[in-house]
Amino acid sequence: MLPVSGLSRYRSRKIVPFNKAKKLISGFKSKKRKVGLCHGGFDVLHAGHIRHFESSKKLCDVLFVSITSDRFVAERKGGSRPVFTDRIRAYAVSAVEFVDYVIIADFSTAIEVIKSLKPDYYIKGPDYINRKSAGIERERAAIKSVGGRIIYTRDPKLSTTGIIGYLKRQDG
């Protein structure tokens, strides 16, 4: 992970603890406001993420973004990831105008996040529309189990892993 000094300075009112997010979502839903959730590592924030958040915000009244904690990104992506700590990643995402709230989720998958937060919509990119992996199938089941639905954006795919791979090839 890239060392960053002064981590305590990377704060935003949009970054909320998990339990507060649960209360906020419950309150929004009681007022008939539609709550959307995007989930991911968002390791190196890029235009693809921002476009996804912009499209996602158009689908709901309040957009929450849950960021996978450091330990689970490292587990999933390997030892050189994440590039930035979850606090830095949460701060970067919180600066995006389309995002209303950010949560650091210390769970191995989005399933636990969905079941705990119970959003109206779980929003994924178009590359997941026809995907049949066990993971996405469990995410589809999780959102359905809480009375919500999965929605897909139509944005072009940009991949953090692809960007990092490109940078490594340019350096070598």
Residue 34 DSSP label = -
| Separation in Å, CA 41 to CA 29, 89, 144 | 26, 8, 23
At 78, the pLDDT band (50, 70, 90 cuts) reads low
At residue 102 the predicted structure's pLDDT band, cuts being 50, 70 and 90, is very high
In order, the DSSP letters of 78-91 are -TT--SS-HHHHHH
pLDDT score recorded for residue 172: 62
Helix pair 110-117, 134-145: axis angle to 10 deg:
10
What is the CATH architecture assignment of 11-171? 3-Layer(aba) Sandwich (3.40)
Going by pLDDT thresholds of 50, 70 and 90, the confidence category of residue 7 is confident
Output the pTM of the full model.
0.93
Q: Are 79 and 43 in contact (CB under 8 A)?
A: no
Domain ranges of the chain: 11-171
Which strands, in side-by-side order, build the sheet including 149-152? Answer: 101-105, 62-68, 35-40, 121-124, 149-152
Residues 155, 52: Cα–Cα separation, whole Å: 7
Residues 105-159 have pLDDT tens digits of 999 899 999 999 999 999 999 989 999 999 999 999 999 999 999 999 999 888 8
With CA atoms as reference, report the closest residue to 115 among 96, 90, 140, 135: 140
